[in-house]
Amino acid sequence: MGVLLVTGSSRGIGAEVARLGSRQGWAVCVNSSKSGEAAERVASEIRAEGGKAIVATADVTSPLEVEEMFERAKADLGPVTGLVNNAATEGSQGRVEDLDASATRRLFEVNILGPFLCTQAAVKQMSTRFGGPGGAIVNVSSAAAKHGGSGHYVDYAASKAALDTMTYGHAVEQADAGIRVNCVRPGTVWTEMNRLYMERDPEYADRIIAKTPLARAAEEAEIAKGILWLLSDEASYTTGAILDISGGMVAP
């Protein structure tokens, strides 16, 4: 199928995309900013099933580290033809008057600058304008881009809304280069991070589930399958799309 690079894939949705992607035939570059051990566990699982996987530790906000990660993937596996911009942070949580400016700055660096830099590096390998084979990019947004995250993480929601806009722009811009760019917008997902957060604030968890028509959180695999569909040839006429995988969650 090609070479798939998944940022933030040492755990959660990213790790599930890496594992399921390998089973579909992708050679996978597993990325983490610092959890080399966790990323290596994911890569080892893939290799144990007969797949190809490498680990590239890189901070997606660093242009140099991103460039080195993509060059490593190309050298070890071949040109990257699939990119999932999954790495993200929720930062500090609370009302706007309580948020820390430095944490919010870091949030936007990870959630927006990171996908921008990775897309830039991916285009240089994928683009038919540069002799590449073409490819597909999927950005991982959030239902928070719709509901705004009031009282909890408006900064996070704003960063994901910006990612939606970046998806539209890059989809149109790269259409003549053989690159499709799409986005998934998950709702509440049973990731390790969300489990811990909802244990700390069970009332918030109940409110979120109450706003979800399917009345439950998603499993990581349910989001990963949507991402992999957008990467696949089955979605060959799909670009600039946002796939809402939120159980029907609506804005408050």
User: Does a structural domain hold residue 94?
Assistant: yes
- Please give the single-letter amino acid code of residue 250: V
User: Does a structural domain hold residue 73?
Assistant: yes
d(CA 20, CA 244): 20
- What is the maximum alpha-carbon separation in the chain? 53
Which residues are within 8 A (CB) of 8 and not within 5 positions of it... i.e. 6 or more apart? 14, 31, 32, 33, 60, 86, 87, 88
Q: Cβ(70)–Cβ(80) under 8 Å?
A: yes
Boundaries of domain holding 166: 2-187+221-245
User: Does a structural domain hold residue 181?
Assistant: yes
User: Does a structural domain hold residue 199?
Assistant: no
Write the CATH number for 133: 3.40.50.720
Q: Cβ(67)–Cβ(121) under 8 Å?
A: yes
> In Å, what is the CA distance from 70 to each residue of 4, 60, 80, 125, 210?
11, 11, 7, 8, 42
User: Does a structural domain hold residue 36?
Assistant: yes
User: Does a structural domain hold residue 214?
Assistant: no
Q: Cβ(184)–Cβ(164) under 8 Å?
A: no
Q: Cβ(241)–Cβ(34) under 8 Å?
A: no
pTM recorded for the entire structure = 0.94
d(CA 41, CA 201): 30
Per-residue pLDDT of the chain (252 residues; tens, 9 = 90+): 899 999 999 999 999 999 999 999 999 999 999 878 999 999 999 999 999 999 999 999 999 999 999 999 999 999 999 999 999 998 777 788 888 889 999 999 999 999 999 999 999 999 999 999 999 999 999 988 888 888 777 999 999 999 999 999 999 999 999 999 999 999 888 877 677 767 777 777 777 778 888 888 889 999 999 999 999 999 999 999 999 998 888 654
User: Does a structural domain hold residue 95?
Assistant: yes
Instruction: Quote the number of domains for the chain.
Output: 1
Helix, strand counts (H, E) of the chain:
10, 7
Mapped onto helix, strand or coil, the DSSP state of residue 140 is: strand
Q: Cβ(28)–Cβ(84) under 8 Å?
A: no
d(CA 182, CA 170): 9
6's tokens? 């998944």
Catalytic residues: 156
User: Does a structural domain hold residue 207?
Assistant: no
Euclidean distance between the first and the last CA atom of the chain, given in angstroms as a whole number: 41
